[in-house]
Structure 1
Amino acid sequence: MDFIQQKDLSCFNTLGLKSWAKNYISLCNETDLKGVLGLLKSGAPYFILGGGSNVVLSEQIDQIVVHNQLKGINLVQESASEWLVEAAAGEIWHDFVVYCIQQGWYGLENLALIPGTVGAAPVQNIGAYGVELKDRLDSVLAYDPLTQTERVFNNGQCCFAYRDSLFKHEEGKGLIITAVRFRLPKQWTPVLSYPDLQQYESLQPGLTAQAILEAVCDIRRRKLPDPKVTGNAGSFFKNPVIPAQQYWPLKQQFPDLVAYEQPNDCYKLAAGWMIDQCGWKGRQLGNAGVHARQALVIINTGKACAADITAIAKAIANDVMNKFGVLLEPEPVFVGAGY
């Protein structure tokens, strides 16, 4: 088990924030896992770090940082109708999606190029281009450091919701996810409900999962900055869901309001549209800014720390609240400092 004091985490978060872990553990195999479980049994505070794509790290983190880098992909079971595929938590999500398509295991192609690791995917219930993780997930395997027991959560037990799951809340956020299992159907049906895919010119009748994967990657690259070039955490705010009684007066006041009807007489608003209407696209505040092409993306303009990201996020949320009366919630987890 690789235990390091004062570990630089700047390269382990896609925002590229200056951050140091007081105590850092690299979790790479089963032997490491036993050591980590023994260390954390004492109740010492800890944080599980994956790909660092959905976190805002403070400059100094006093919690023990457990960097989950467990690897491995296995076909657990095959039936006449589906494949049951397991991926270790430390696998890079996009690499896993590509591998599945190469093996002929289709169904995850709409989720291509989402940054982060497999283990982090169910925490956030990642979703894109008409597909959410919950649509494909079978179960999550995890260890509880306090009870020293392995637990398995089926799809229903994960309590998935929009960008939410059990693993974001008290019962589940302390668990160390070790692997995730997916049920991928042999009778593959492409999901093309998202407008960007419907309009994508290269998708023709007889399309393949590989073609959808390539289209999704192309769309994402055109819309979103590469975190290796410009530090960012992807979409920074959730698209807020409001009841119809709040939506209709807003629609009357703002006829161009972008929204999508949801079940239970609710509407999901486009947070990026509202942020753009508040004049934030391309603006900078301190060492952070809003991307010039995508208002949902907060970027590190070079030397940002967590305080810079927090300041601009709060300023944006305040402006949206003042103009539209709608609360914006951040998607990333703030570690070491609150939002």
Structure 2
Amino acid sequence: MRHLTVEPLIASLLMMHLHGAAAVTHSMKYFFTASSGVTNFPEFVIVGLVDDVKMVHYDSNTRREEPKQDWMIRATADDPQYWQRNTELSMSNQQVYKANMEIAKQRFNQTGGVHIFQRMVGCEWDDDDETNEVEGYSQYGYDGEDFISFDLKTETYIAPKQQAVITKHKWDNNRAKIAQDKNYLTHICPDWGKKYVKYGRSSLMRTELPSVSLLQKTSSSPVSCHATGFYPDRATLFWRKDGEELHEDVDLGEILPNHDGSFQMSADLELSSVAAADWRRYDCVFQLSGVKEDIVTRLDEKEIRTNEEKPAYITFIIIIIIAAVALLALIIAVGGVMFHRNGKAPFRI
């Protein structure tokens, strides 16, 4: 079961060693969040993504759904009422999920405090799959834990929380809702997702190689191989010794987004028990899906960048990176969802 928290979302990013022969998987997903007790933040936010690139945004402060990519404007140019209609849908979602928040608080016997009610809905498909098979998912979460989800195969709802059982019974007996959810996940979502990919292909399907650096905080710290600025996120980074991939003494980090839409990742190698003369036997390898040539960086003490003599500077950089990643994670987490070409408002729990 997919979780609505940010970490599992990042962890689910596709990683592979395959190069040009790898199949291309696309996705469209919407995140929405109703919040209670969160100061200086909208009570309701919608974020839509195609291939994990933010394409639309709505929040209860602006009360407007807006495109976040130029190609989204082109993709909807044939429908002059598109943004107005979806703004109205988003405003309808806002009211329903505000009510759902209050219902959830009652079910959990809560009054004040900070609470989050979320939904993630979307689909994935393979460009090369002649069967047109689509994986769809629709999940609700409350305060960071799964609340209820739709099982597309059985066409039933799964309630991992006792407080959601009443919702499960209610929705399992609502054939109209089941048909609506199934139709969205298997037809509406992939149809619109493919249209957006078509218009955004030049951006979404681009290939950008990273800059790769060797970093070390102090002379006794692990050496970090850091790759940044690559796109797409289907990439692999690993250390080798004498041409063989290492698994021990290696700490592989997650793929993280940069502010410009590219990605970064790092792999740390512990060298405390390695003699200096043996360093030349190690190298770091970066592989990007669709690119035949690897980027190989040999472990060389002269090439390692360190801020050991400037602790204040490295601390400042770390703070900036942590703050940037935390902000982006918050933006992704507090998302929303709407249905294109689907006039029915969302259901109360």
TM-score normalised by the shorter chain: which range applies? under 0.3
Q: Which TM-score applies when normalising by structure 2? A: 0.22
Normalising by structure 1, what TM-score? 0.22
Larger radius of gyration: 2
